[in-house]
Structure 1
Amino acid sequence: MAEEELQMEEGAKKSKLMIIIIIAVVILLGGGAAAYFLLGGEDDAAMAEGAEQMQMEGSETESSAPVKTGTALYVSIPNPITFNVPGTGRDRLVEIKVQLMVRGSDAEEKVKMHIPSIQGALNRAFSQANADDLITEAGKAAIRDNALKEVQKTLKDVAGKELVEQVLFTGFVMQ
């Protein structure tokens, strides 16, 4: 009887030891796999394909669009744009914080000088939206594109150039 209890204790100790070893191996393998995926680079074939595709796109864009040079800088609109939008169930209040991406410090200074005109353009663009569209990601992308067009149009009229490359929403609240 004592021998059976002793064998059961040894068996329990061995099974606990096996479980600990298995857990340690799983953790090590999981950590190694995570490190491989996070720190590992692309393979040579994928890199060559990406470079080839960039060359093809570069040759297409050289003739159709100007090359974007200069450091990307971000100009923050000081106050969030707040507006009401109609919806099917009820009207909603929307608040959007906006930053504008420009290239180069000259463009940054010109955009900062025309912030009131830009805010007016953003208000015009946002007033065309409705709550049902703003709920979806596609609706937000559409209003962002519309805002970019309005801002570029305004800056072309005021400063002579389309200085803004992107309109970015850094905050979006709809109630």
Structure 2
Amino acid sequence: MLSFRILLALMIFVAPPLLAEDEDEKEKETEEAAPVISYYQVKPSLVANLASGGKYIRCDVQLMTNDELFLDELNLHGPAIRHSLLLLLSEQDGKSIKSPSGKEALRKKALSTLGKLMQELSGKNELKALFFTTFLVQ
């Protein structure tokens, strides 16, 4: 009976701290495994004449990646990125990109275009998202 009480006391007082340590370790592993998000800003602002004539677009673009080393590739190929975006913007019609759905379609097309470009130039595409941080059609 005495051994049962000792065993019960050990379970009550020793087991909870051990379980808490396991939970802390799991939280630390989860924090360490979380991807690091980095952004590359295309500078300066992009300005292009629209295909519809008489109008232009001015926008700022940020590219998101989970690979910090890929930022070096983006910096290296910055002129090619800028060129591709300017060509894509100059193909757009002013009416279609004024609507939210038109902007979203342009965002997806730009991300796809830059993904293919980076695959061609660096052998990998680590782009996860593209964001317009300013967008003006006039």
Which letter does structure 2 place at the counterpart of 1:92? K
The equivalent residue for 1:106 is: 69
Structure 1 unaligned residues grouped into runs of 5+: 1-68
Question: Is residue 92 of structure 2 the alignment partner of residue 136 of structure 1?
Answer: no
Partner SS, residue 95 of structure 2: helix
Q: Which residue of the other structure, out of 73, 76, 88, is the alignment partner of 1:125?
A: 88
Higher helix share: 1
Structure 2 unaligned residues grouped into runs of 5+: 1-33
Partner SS, residue 133 of structure 1: coil
Give the distance between the partners of 1:118 and 1:144, measured in 2 at CA: 14
Which letter does structure 1 place at the counterpart of 2:106? I
Q: Relative CO higher for 1 or 2, CA cutoff 8 Å, sep ≥ 6? A: 2
How far has the Cα of 1:104 moved from its partner?
2.1
Paired positions, count: 105
The equivalent residue for 1:75 is: 40
Q: Which residue of the other structure, out of 151, 160, 172, is the alignment partner of 2:123?
A: 160
Give the distance between the partners of 1:168 and 1:96, measured in 2 at CA: 10
Q: Does the 8 Å CA contact 1:121/1:151 hold for their aligned counterparts?
A: yes
Q: Does the 8 Å CA contact 1:102/1:165 hold for their aligned counterparts?
A: yes
Q: TM (normalized to structure 1)? A: 0.56
Q: TM (normalized to structure 2)? A: 0.71
RMSD: 1.4
How far has the Cα of 1:100 moved from its partner?
0.5
Higher strand share: 2
Give the distance between the partners of 1:124 and 1:85, measured in 2 at CA: 10
- Cα deviation code 1:7-44 (max 9, x no counterpart): xxxxxxxxxxxxxxxxxxxxxxxxxxxxxxxxxxxxxx
The equivalent residue for 2:60 is: 97
The equivalent residue for 2:23 is: none
Q: Which has the larger radius of gyration?
A: 1
Q: Does the 8 Å CA contact 2:51/2:91 hold for their aligned counterparts?
A: no
